[in-house]
Amino acid sequence: MHISGKKIWCCLFGAWVRERQGRIIQPSKQILTPSKKSRTPCCGKKVKKAKNILTGYVNFMRGKKHATTDEKIKLCQECEENTWMTKAEHAKWLLKHGIKVLENFDQLEKLPRLPKHKKSKKRKTLYCRLCKCHVEAKITDEDERCLLKKW
């Protein structure tokens, strides 16, 4: 069964939104309880990250480029932290780490690195092992930054 990267992100985002809505509907349990500092709403950061991801995918699908896009893709292609995967492999990895992905949606670098693969006939999509992003989509959003500050 083929699962596209776009579908998995829509699925994860939908699950995350439902989870947040569930928490807000039951304030005594989570978000709105002032005594639980660690449960302070972090929606702003996560929503911004979700927006950046969606923007990146939309830009990528529309073939939108910026002045620095080609330079960034070159840096990612030469980076030791890149990996080439199929979209299905990436989606499987996200599903395998589903809960942690949702919990750390705005800091996916906290999760284990994506597996390292070389480019092949099958593996044609470039991902960042650290941020787990689809690189060609990520670089189209000017708000996004490389975690290693390469761009």
81 binds ligand SF4 (CB under 6 A): yes
Compute the distance between CA of residue 148 and CA of residue 75 in angstroms, rounded to an integer: 11
Q: Is 76 near ligand SF4 (CB under 6 A)? A: yes
- Residue 147 engages ligand SF4 in binding (rule: CB under 6 A): yes
Neighbour tally for 150: CB within 10 Å? 12
The answer to whether residue 150 forms part of the interface with ligand SF4 (CB under 6 A) is yes
Sequential DSSP letters for 11-44: HHHHHHHHHHHHHHHSTTTSTT-TT-GGG---HH
**Total interface residues for ligand SF4 by CB under 6 A:** 12
* Closest to ligand SF4 by CB, 20 or 56: 56
Does 148 participate in binding ligand SF4 (rule CB under 6 A)?
A: yes
